[in-house]
């Protein structure tokens, strides 16, 4: 077979195809009310503000003649494709989103979605993580996705439970020290 018809990978990273982690098959896309509002706000901003401005720029640039060397036109068309791709992505994610309010478990000692969990590992190092939806995780804030290995290990556990956490370096033992949930919103 000719090399022209085979696909060889050079081990290089393809940065253009980076995507968020897929949802587990048959699973739900759990998200907090705040995360849902943030994604919805981003969607509405793209639809109501950004896209119309870019369309106007592209329309203006198209009237200027030669489109092959028109930077405003070329960049605008590229930006329009990016906006439309993000709008499709957000629309699909919001359609399957299962909004779950973690404040309903306020005061509880069992770990559910939205919990802030403090645990100690084998080295007696204390760590805290907040279990959130895959579309709203901010690692710099100590948030982990509910489908991550640490979250899967912690879910349904109670304060005082000792759990086995599988890691690439082997199984670690962790102990749940504290569980906290956001307080319910008061009447507005």
Note the pLDDT tens digit of each residue in 6-56: 444 444 444 333 344 454 555 678 999 999 999 999 999 999 999 999 999
Residue 71 pLDDT class (50, 70, 90 cuts): confident
What's the rounded mean pLDDT across residues 73-85?
Answer: 93
Task: Identify whether the C-beta of residue 96 lies closer than 8 Å to the C-beta of residue 29.
Answer: yes
pLDDT on residue 27: 63
Q: What is the pLDDT of residues 114-131, one digit of tens each?
A: 999 999 988 888 999 999
Phi, psi of 95 (to 5 degrees): -65, -35
Can you tell me the distance from the alpha carbon of 77 to that of 85, in angstroms, rounded to the nearest whole number? 12
Can you tell me the distance from the alpha carbon of 45 to that of 146, in angstroms, rounded to the nearest whole number? 27
Give the CATH number of domain 28-99. Answer: 1.10.287.180
Say whether pTM exceeds 0.85.
Answer: no
Strand-pair category, 162-167 with 170-180: antiparallel
Which residues lie closer than 8 Å to 16 by C-beta, 6 or more apart? none
The per-residue pLDDT of the chain, averaged, comes to: 84
**More confident of the two residues 44 and 70:** 44
- For the chain, give every domain's residue range: 28-99, 102-180
Q: How far is CA 100 from CA 16, 38, 71, 167, 173, in A?
A: 32, 14, 45, 28, 29
Which CATH code of 1.10.3720.10, 3.10.50.30, 3.80.10.10, 3.40.50.300 fits the domain covering 102-180? Answer: 3.10.50.30
Which residues lie closer than 8 Å to 184 by C-beta, 6 or more apart? 103, 104, 106
């Amino acid at each position: 077979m000719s090399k022209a018809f085979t696909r060889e990978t050079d081990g290089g990273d393809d940065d253009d195809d980076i995507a968020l982690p897929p949802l587990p098959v048959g699973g739900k896309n759990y998200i907090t009310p705040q995360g849902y509002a943030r994604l919805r706000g981003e969607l509405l901003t793209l639809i109501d503000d950004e896209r119309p401005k870019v369309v106007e720029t592209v329309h203006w640039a198209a009237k200027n003649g030669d489109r092959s060397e028109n930077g405003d036109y070329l960049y605008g068309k590229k930006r329009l494709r990016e906006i439309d791709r993000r709008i499709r992505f957000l629309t699909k994610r919001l359609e399957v989103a299962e909004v779950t309010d973690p404040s309903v478990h306020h005061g509880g000692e069992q770990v559910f979605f939205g919990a802030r969990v403090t645990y100690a590992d084998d080295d007696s190092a204390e760590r805290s993580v907040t279990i959130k939806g895959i579309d709203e995780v901010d690692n710099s804030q100590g948030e982990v996705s509910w489908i991550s290995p640490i979250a899967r290990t912690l879910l349904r556990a109670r304060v005082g439970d000792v759990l086995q956490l599988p890691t690439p370096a082997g199984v670690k033992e962790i102990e749940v020290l504290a569980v906290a949930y956001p307080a319910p919103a008061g009447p507005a």
